[in-house]
């Protein structure tokens, strides 16, 4: 019996020991899995390679397999940047340094915002290489990632990154083998490494001392060395390391320096090739400088980059090149056509003021016939924008003939010119609203719309067409909304249009929404008390409903000025809000100071405003005051005051806004 109990006890001990070993084995197998799941996410790193004096088009001039592979297999984009004067690498570095998401610029832009944001996020930075010349030390590229003190965590910029080369200009060039060794030595402890290749900038400094053929030879050799260097980075860098190739300035040869588009290549080691796309421009392949810095910060963010950059639109470089060529042609067309258009307007308006005091009645009749057709050139530009006409003669002929045809048809249909003018006013406002609802395709392509070349953020309703819309809508409809049958529901209509203009997914123009709100209030004041109260409630209710829908379905509008202002308002950042208001006012003053025409427009608007006030109080003008357009003209001009104050380029809004009532009154003054 005793031996039986001992055998049972031994058997139980062996079972327990076996169970313990089995548990240890299971833990040994499962523990690494749990460590992977619960541990910190892998550290994301970024290598930013800086090139100057080169563009995508240069890749077709030689055998650069790695650059060409990046161009076809990576993500590409054009960064639009605005600087004062000639575009230089130093100015680009400063603009990058002053652009970082989440930082308010205040009254004066501050340097080092990108580096400061990286430091606050706990990221380490390194700057490797130089673009030194014998007479000048050039490490300006460091500005792109340095903090507000101009510092980075690690810097290797001395002669150790150079090698002697008697044949190369100045006798020394970048040692790409050593530069690559430094990159991989710094990579384990660094989150963002900025590599300055330097040789192309050195060649630019020597360009005036050699023939173009010799310069082109050394440029091709330098690009080939850089291509080999990039091939090594792509082959040896860990899979969680992204590579960005940034072209800080286009090529100074040929047409490369005409447009401020900086090429950008991204190899994030996963994801489909295509165009980098951001909501700030809503144009695939086009980025603002703030988008570029936001991209850099996101690429080193361990959480956001886990699934890769998703803002990719299918496309290839030839398509982006064709778009940039059209943007160039569009810019040249608008510079000449709009200038000639303004001169014609000024000439006809001066003739309209002068001819009533002369016996030349035939000339007065001719001017009175042609003058009302001129304000509808913006409508013609909208209708022709979809065709992307690049031929100068054809575009001019179509603009003139279509504008004249529209005016002739309106005069044929309606009994007099005033009603024909009103019909075209309402047609222009309706086309703008329909285009807003369909994504602002026409306004973005129109000669009067925002130019992608100028580096502007997306505005579904730009300030030029905002002025056109405010003038055509209020001039054509104010009398109907105050005195006609439509006044019962005018509050709902005005509320819906106001929301459409300021909504981030449609007009994205908050200043325009404020101007339209002020115009709605002016109309409300002219209505009977009961109707005014009803429309006030309808206006507020429509806006609240629109904001509610926007909150539920935000769409892809992205962050707008309104979002930023509301965020500052919620946090009580009154000083920053005041700084933004002052900065917008200063921008208006700078636009007015840009040319003498700015002063003429500004003081001319004040005279028109005072003239309406004087005519209203004295009753010196009788016949026009009895017409429908007098009330609309007064509301339009007064709305212009709010449009000027609420927009950072309010003077641009005033230019087309005063045009429509002024021309109608001038044409009727010749009668």
Rg, the chain, Cα only: 32
C-alpha–C-alpha distance, residues 522 and 569, integer Å: 27
The per-residue pLDDT for 312 is 85
Helices of type H across 356-391 = 361-370, 377-385
Cβ–Cβ < 8 Å for 525, 494: no
| H/E element, 520 | helix 510-526
| Residue 210 located in a structural domain | yes
Same domain, 297 and 370: no
Tell me, yes or no, whether 13 lies in a domain: no
Question: Which two tokens mark 361?
Answer: 């009645």
State whether 279 and 387 are in the same domain. no
Residue 35 belongs to a domain: no
Do 266 and 373 share a structural domain? no
3: in domain = no
What's the pLDDT at 330?
84
pLDDT of 584 reads: 74
| Dihedral (Cα; 143, 145, 148, 150), 10-degree rounding | -50
The CB density around residue 133, as the number of other CB atoms within 10 Å, is 16
With 0-12 CB in 10 A as exposed, 13-18 as middle and 19+ as buried, what is 30? exposed
The runs of H, that is alpha helices, within 196-256 are: 199-206, 212-236
Residue the block writes with tokens 């790409």: 176
pLDDT value of position 620: 61
Residue 633 lies in a domain: yes
Token readout for 389 is 């006409």
Asked if residue 352 and residue 210 are part of one domain, the reply reads no
In a domain, 33, yes or no: no
Residues 505 and 601 in one domain: yes
Same domain, yes or no: 209 and 62: yes
Q: Count CA within 13 A, CB hemisphere, residue 158.
A: 2
- Are 153 and 129 found together in one domain? yes
> Residue 149 belongs to what domain range?
45-315
Residue (of 418, 417, 524, 507) closest to 470 by Cα position:
507
Separation in Å, CA 5 to CA 8, 9, 441: 5, 6, 91
Q: What is the dihedral of CA 433, 437, 440, 443, to 10 degrees?
A: -10
Residues 222 and 120 grouped into a single domain: yes
Position 56 scores a pLDDT of 78
84 lies in some domain: yes
Gap between the Cα atoms of 456 and 322, Å rounded: 20
Residue 537: both structure tokens together: 């409630």
Q: What are phi and psi of 174, to 5 degrees?
A: -70, 135
Using alpha carbons, list the distances in angstroms from residue 417 to 79, 381, 385, 441, 478.
48, 22, 27, 31, 19
Q: Do 330 and 285 belong together in one domain?
A: no
pLDDT < 50 regions, the chain: 1-3, 24, 27-40, 104, 106-108, 253-257, 305-308, 557, 559
Q: Which residue has the tokens 């997914």?
A: 505
Angle at CA of residue 461, ends 458 and 463, nearest 5°: 95
Q: Report the alpha-carbon distance of residue 643 to residue 363 in Å, rounded.
A: 36
Q: How many CA atoms, within 13 angstroms, populate the side-chain half-sphere of residue 211?
A: 3
CATH number of the domain bearing residue 235? 3.40.720.10
Cβ–Cβ under 8 Å, residues 551 and 505: no
Pairing of strands 75-80, 261-267: antiparallel
- Distance (Å, whole) CA 592 – CA 586: 10
φ and ψ of 350, to 5 deg: -65, -40
Res 255: pLDDT: 42
Integer Cα distance of 425 and 432 in angstroms: 11
Residues 225 and 343 in one domain: no
Report pTM: 0.80
275 and 406 assigned to the same domain: no
Cα distances from 418 to residues 219, 257, 624, 629, in angstroms, run 65, 49, 11, 9
- For the chain, how many structural domains are there in total? 2
Q: Is residue 38 part of a domain?
A: no
The residue among 276, 296, 315 that closes a domain is 315
Q: What is the rounded CA–CA span in Å between residue 528 and residue 522?
A: 13
Together in a domain, 295 and 385 = no
Strand partners, 126: 154, 193
Nearest alpha carbon to residue 190 among 156, 163, 160: 156
């Amino acid at each position: 019996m005793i031996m039986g109990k001992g055998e049972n006890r031994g058997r139980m001990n062996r079972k327990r020991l076996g169970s313990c070993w089995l548990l240890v084995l299971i833990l040994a197998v499962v523990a690494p899995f749990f460590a992977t799941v619960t541990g910190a996410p892998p550290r994301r790193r970024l290598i930013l390679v800086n090139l100057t004096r080169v563009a995508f088009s240069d890749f077709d001039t030689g055998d650069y397999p790695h650059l060409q592979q990046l161009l076809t297999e990576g993500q590409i984009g054009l960064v639009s940047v605005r600087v004062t004067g000639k575009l230089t690498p130093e100015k680009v570095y400063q603009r990058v340094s002053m652009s970082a998401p989440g930082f308010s610029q205040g009254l004066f832009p501050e340097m080092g915002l990108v580096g400061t944001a990286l430091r606050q996020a706990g990221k380490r930075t390194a700057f490797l290489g130089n673009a030194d010349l014998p007479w000048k030390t050039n490490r300006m590229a460091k500005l792109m990632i340095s903090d507000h003190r101009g510092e980075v965590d690690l810097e290797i910029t001395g002669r150790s990154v150079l090698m002697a080369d008697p044949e190369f200009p100045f006798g020394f060039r970048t040692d790409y083998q050593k530069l690559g060794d430094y990159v991989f030595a710094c990579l384990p402890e660094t989150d963002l490494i900025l590599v300055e290749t330097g040789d192309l900038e050195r060649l630019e400094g020597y360009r005036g001392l050699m023939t173009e053929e010799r310069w082109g030879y050394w440029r091709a050799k330098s690009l080939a060395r850089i291509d080999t260097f990039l091939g090594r980075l792509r082959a040896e860098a860990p899979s969680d390391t992204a590579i960005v190739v940034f072209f800080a300035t286009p090529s100074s040869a040929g047409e490369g320096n005409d447009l401020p588009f900086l090429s950008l290549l991204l190899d994030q080691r996963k994801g489909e090739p295509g165009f980098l796309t951001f909501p700030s421009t809503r144009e695939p392949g086009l980025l603002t400088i703030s988008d570029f810095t936001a991209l850099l910060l996101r690429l080193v963010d361990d959480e956001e980059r886990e699934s890769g950059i998703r803002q990719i639109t299918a496309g290839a470089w030839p398509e982006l090149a064709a778009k940039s060529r059209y943007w160039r042609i569009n810019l040249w067309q608008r510079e000449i056509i709009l200038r000639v258009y303004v001169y014609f307007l000024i000439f006809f308006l001066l003739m309209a003021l002068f001819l009533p005091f002369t016996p030349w009645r035939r000339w007065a009749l001719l001017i009175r016939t042609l003058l009302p057709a001129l304000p509808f050139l913006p409508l013609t530009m909208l209708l022709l924008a979809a065709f992307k006409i690049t031929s100068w003669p054809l575009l001019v002929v179509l603009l003139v003939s279509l504008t004249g045809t529209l005016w002739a048809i309106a005069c044929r249909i309606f009994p007099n010119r005033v009603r024909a003018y009103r019909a075209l006013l309402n047609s222009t406002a309706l086309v703008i609203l329909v285009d807003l609802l369909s994504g602002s395709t026409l306004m973005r392509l129109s000669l009067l719309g925002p130019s992608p070349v100028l580096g502007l953020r997306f505005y579904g309703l730009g300030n030029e067409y905002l002025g056109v819309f405010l003038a055509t809508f209020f001039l054509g409809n104010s009398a109907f909304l105050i005195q006609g049958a439509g006044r019962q529901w005018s509050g709902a209509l005005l509320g819906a249009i106001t929301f459409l203009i300021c909504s981030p997914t449609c007009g994205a123009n908050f200043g325009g929404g404020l101007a339209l709100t002020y115009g709605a209030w002016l109309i409300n004041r002219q209505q009977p008390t009961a109707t005014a109260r009803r429309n006030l409630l309808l206006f507020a209710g429509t806006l609240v409903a629109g904001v509610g829908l926007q909150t539920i379905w935000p769409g892809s509008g992205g962050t707008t000025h309104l979002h930023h202002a509301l965020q500052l308002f919620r946090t009580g950042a009154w000083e920053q809000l005041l700084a933004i208001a002052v900065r917008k006012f200063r921008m208006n003053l700078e636009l007015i100071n840009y040319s003498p025409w700015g002063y003429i427009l500004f003081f001319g608007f004040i005279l028109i405003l005072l003239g309406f006030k004087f005519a209203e109080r004295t009753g010196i003008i009788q016949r026009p005051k009895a017409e429908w357009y007098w009330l609309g003209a007064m509301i339009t001009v007064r709305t212009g005051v709010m449009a000027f104050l609420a927009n950072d380029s309010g003077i641009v809004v005033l230019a087309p806004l005063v045009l429509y009532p002024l021309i109608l009154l001038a044409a009727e003054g010749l009668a």
